[in-house]
């Protein structure tokens, strides 16, 4: 097998995050579910944008956030995702290139416009997300860079993108490409509502041995296994995947790899400012440790450190030198 060109290549929703601080009263006034994630159409997205205060725009989407963290740690990364040929599509492409990630998926002409996630952040750091998926739902299989996929140590897929038919077919093709090249496939379950819709597909991928590294949080673990008890859920799922990683917010995280179990506490933090991207950056830290051959406990620590840094400020991009931070914390 040839030396990999990339540490990680990811396929995900190409979304521009538009983030703004707001009051609890505005959340109520807009009729939003505080702390939730809601899909909206283009008209609703415009209404919410108009109601926002001063905002910052940055390339987002779960897998793209993970890659940004990986790149900050020193990994070589590439992203595959669909934007439209519009202003937000240019914002996404510029931003992801600026953090050192290769991105060459051709832009899509016509409607719908580039996806965006309007994020309202209340004083306690809780984020209420309203997502217009737009062009990101129309990633065709022919847009895949199969040479890049075959040349990456790990193919990383986000469950969110499994929902629309076109990118689901693209991701199935990408899994086949990675497998044929002898590469690993990592998958994040993304959200319980995705599991409600596509759990049977995910369980089949797991049963068929198509997933090497599976990321979930404790809610998603219960949803995929049907077991409310955390340890019962772990016991049911861990034997089915070579590496299982489950996060538990302030309770830390657990990983089981080939029967070996490791557990870490959450990193201490003075104040939670914005939880956007916490799980994405945990995955970044863990995957970086994994591709660098670190032991299971160290991989978890790296994930916990990256997640703690990201929730200490607005947005899902590190505000310090993440590589130096991890190095200093690990000692």
Q: Is residue 165 part of a domain?
A: yes
Domain that holds residue 68: 6-14+61-112+137-330
pLDDT at 139: 96
Q: Is residue 129 part of a domain?
A: no
Q: Which of 178, 157, 179 is nearest to 168 (CA)?
A: 157
Q: Is residue 56 part of a domain?
A: no
Q: Is residue 46 part of a domain?
A: no
Q: Is residue 211 part of a domain?
A: yes
pLDDT at 1: 64
**What digits encode the pLDDT tens for the residues 283-292?**
999 999 999 9
pLDDT at 267: 81
Cα(6)–Cα(77) distance, rounded to whole angstroms? 5
Alpha helical stretches, state H, the chain: 24-29, 42-51, 62-73, 87-98, 146-150, 165-180, 192-207, 218-225, 230-237, 278-291, 296-310, 322-330
What global pTM score does this model have? 0.91
- Side by side, the strands of the sheet bearing 6-11 are 101-103, 77-80, 6-11, 152-158, 184-188, 213-217, 243-247, 253-257, 260-264
**What digits encode the pLDDT tens for the residues 116-156?**
999 999 988 788 989 999 999 999 999 999 999 999 999 99
Q: Is residue 20 part of a domain?
A: no
pLDDT at 274: 62
Cα(112)–Cα(146) distance, rounded to whole angstroms? 26
Question: Which CATH number goes with the domain that contains 192?
Answer: 3.40.1190.20
Q: Is residue 203 part of a domain?
A: yes
Q: Is residue 47 part of a domain?
A: no
pLDDT at 126: 83
pLDDT at 222: 95
pLDDT at 269: 79
Q: Is 22 helix (H, G, I), strand (E, B) or coil?
A: coil
**Weakly modelled stretches of the chain, pLDDT under 50:** none
Number of structural domains found in the chain: 1
């Amino acid at each position: 097998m040839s030396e990999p060109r990339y540490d990680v290549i990811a396929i995900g929703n190409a979304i521009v995050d538009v983030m703004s601080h707001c009051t609890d009263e505005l959340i109520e006034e807009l009729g939003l579910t505080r702390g939730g994630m809601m899909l909206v159409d283009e008209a609703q997205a415009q209404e919410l944008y108009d109601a926002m205060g001063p905002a910052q725009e940055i390339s987002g989407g779960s897998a793209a956030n993970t890659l940004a963290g990986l790149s900050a740690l020193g990994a070589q990364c590439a992203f595959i995702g669909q934007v439209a040929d519009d202003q937000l599509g240019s914002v996404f492409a510029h931003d992801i290139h600026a953090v050192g990630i290769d991105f060459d998926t051709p832009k899509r002409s016509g409607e719908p416009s580039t996806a965006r996630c309007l994020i309202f952040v209340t004083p306690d750091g809780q984020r209420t997300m309203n997502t217009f998926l737009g062009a990101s739902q129309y990633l065709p299989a022919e847009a895949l860079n199969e040479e890049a996929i075959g040349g990456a140590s790990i193919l990383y897929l986000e469950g969110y993108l499994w929902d629309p038919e076109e990118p689901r077919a693209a991701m199935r093709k990408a899994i086949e490409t990675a497998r044929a090249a002898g590469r690993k496939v990592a998958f994040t379950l993304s959200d319980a509502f995705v599991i409600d819709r596509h759990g049977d597909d995910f369980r089949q991928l797991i049963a068929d041995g198509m997933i090497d590294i599976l990321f979930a949080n404790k809610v998603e673990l219960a949803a995929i296994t049907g077991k409310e008890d955390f340890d019962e859920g772990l016991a049911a799922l861990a034997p089915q995947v070579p590496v299982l990683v489950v996060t538990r917010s302030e309770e830390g995280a657990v990983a089981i790899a080939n029967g070996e179990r490791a557990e870490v506490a959450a990193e201490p933090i003075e104040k939670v400012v914005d939880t956007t991207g916490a799980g994405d950056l945990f995955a970044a830290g863990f995957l970086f440790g994994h591709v660098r051959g670190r032991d299971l406990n160290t991989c978890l620590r790296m994930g916990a450190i990256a997640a703690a840094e990201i929730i200490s400020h607005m947005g899902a991009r590190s505000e310090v030198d993440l590589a130096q931070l991890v190095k200093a914390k690990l000692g």
